[in-house]
Copies of this chain bind each other. A is one copy, B any other.
């Protein structure tokens, strides 16, 4: 803090506080902090001690203590009584997987993804947009793939991945530009497009072609193609994606064999949406005070 501003004591900040979003009195900070504890864990940080959690999440020791205690009590964290290490408990799986069960899109898309996999023998993904990122929400892994599939739930930047580009290409210009601007545009490879105008051009081409092709912009040696799934208002709600190694595929082969399947799949999923825009009007009558069995 500089010198106290020479204004008389009772100076109230003249700026009008917005009182919206996180500043709204409706925002519960404790919930946000508690959830931040979850994000402290990843594949390189599997077991954390209290102080580490505090450091990683930016909470002080007391706060970390309270939130880990709470999450442990609720069964979301395990604690090794000897080493005092915290780990995620399997119960957190419930959180994530209810999403897969509640997302109509995943449910409707799955048969088409399987069909596309059968026709191409390659991995087929479905992704959705989450801010400036894409998130894998469904996946049919290629047969040869041995390792188990933990790609679901992974998020990658939208601007330099095929699914992201396919979705950005089909949304209003100002919206895609806004996402591109807000993205942390890193050059993952020397082919990564980071310039805003160049991105807009890439979007235009994808829009013209009906699909996006991204070659080695995120991982070297890999070509990724994606087509958007459009809703009734022609807005992208997801993208079908296939990524193949350049060692096995050429551009020509991709355009001839993969792209047709890709686009048919995306369109079939979009059509399957049929008339239901969002959800059928389940209840038209008075709300009978919903009760639910505990488990």
Of the candidates B89, B96, B102, B146, the one whose C-beta lies within 8 Å of that of A42 is B102
Contact B94 A90 (CB under 8 A): no
Interface-lining segment among A70-78, A213-221, A260-268: A70-78
Contact A278 B80 (CB under 8 A): yes
Of the candidates B71, B83, B98, B148, the one whose C-beta lies within 8 Å of that of A88 is B98
Of the candidates B43, B146, B295, the one whose C-beta lies within 8 Å of that of A101 is B43
A182 to B25, CA, bound (A): 40
When distances are taken between beta carbons in the complex, the residues of chain B under 8 Å from A111 are 146
Q: Mark A189-200, 1 if CB is under 8 A from B, else 0.
A: 000000000000
Interface-lining segment among A8-16, A203-211, A244-252, A284-292: A284-292
When distances are taken between beta carbons in the complex, the residues of chain B under 8 Å from A232 are none
Residue pairs across A and B with Cβ atoms less than 8 A apart, 20 shown, are A22-B73, A26-B66, A27-B73, A28-B70, A30-B30, A31-B74, A34-B35, A43-B101, A55-B291, A75-B131, A80-B278, A87-B103, A88-B99, A89-B99, A90-B137, A94-B155, A95-B95, A97-B150, A100-B150, A114-B148
Identical subunits present: 2
Q: Which residue of B lies closest to A139 (CB)?
A: B148
A295 to B30, CA, bound (A): 22
Total interface residues in chain A, CB < 8 Å: 85
Interface of chain A, main secondary structure: mixed
Top 4 nearest A-B pairs (CB, nearest first) are: A96-B96, A97-B153, A93-B153, A31-B34
A155 to B33, CA, bound (A): 27
Q: Mark A59-79, 1 if CB is under 8 A from B, else 0.
A: 000000111011101111000
Interface-lining segment among A46-54, A162-170, A222-230: A46-54
Contact B279 A46 (CB under 8 A): yes
